[in-house]
Amino acid sequence: MNYWRLKDPSKGHESLSSDDNFQNSIILHYPCSSNNDCTYYQSVLLPGVYKFKVWGAEGGDGLANGAFSRQTGKGGYSIGAYIVNQTVNAYVFVGGKGEDATDPSTRPAKGGYNGGGDSPQDTDPSNNNDAGGGVVVPLISESEMMI
């Protein structure tokens, strides 16, 4: 099994688990207390075949007609395999949940870490926007892999 660590441990704590249904599985959970300022996991992958399942972070809760709405987007899902022919450095950026709307809306809600979109400040006191969740984007080269 690979050893995963945070690039900047001052921003959070490693949050790892495994899936008992799959041998040598590892689940990398969001490691930071802030949803919009975090760091990434890093490891070294040895030659082999790796299966990746990634989920985008959910958006924040919105305010509609004066009541908070819990019907936010849950983030996308993707699955794929990657064949490693030589040892590579791997970086996994786990997206953060978008910030919930505020009541009253005094400022824009911040998007989640790693690309979540900010919402505009809403001037309608009964309908305030929520922010988008962060994303996972794979960037792969022969010697390094970013997820």
**What pTM was estimated for this model as a whole?**
0.75
**Residue 141's pLDDT band (cuts 50, 70, 90):** low
Q: Domain map of the chain by residue range?
A: 1-146
* C-alpha torsion sign, points 33, 34, 39, 45: positive
Please enumerate in sequence order all residues whose Cβ is within 8 A of that of 67, keeping only pairs 6 or more positions apart, or say none: none
Residue showing tokens 């590892």: 26
Rounded Cα distance, 93 and 102, in Å: 27
**Residue 142's pLDDT band (cuts 50, 70, 90):** low
pLDDT higher at 85 or 78? 85
Mean pLDDT score, 12-40 = 85
Rounded Cα distance, 70 and 65, in Å: 13
Three-state SS annotation for 114-139: CCCCCCCCCCCCCCECCCCCCCCCCE
Arithmetic mean of pLDDT over the chain: 78
Q: Evaluate if residue 107 carries a pLDDT over 60.
A: yes
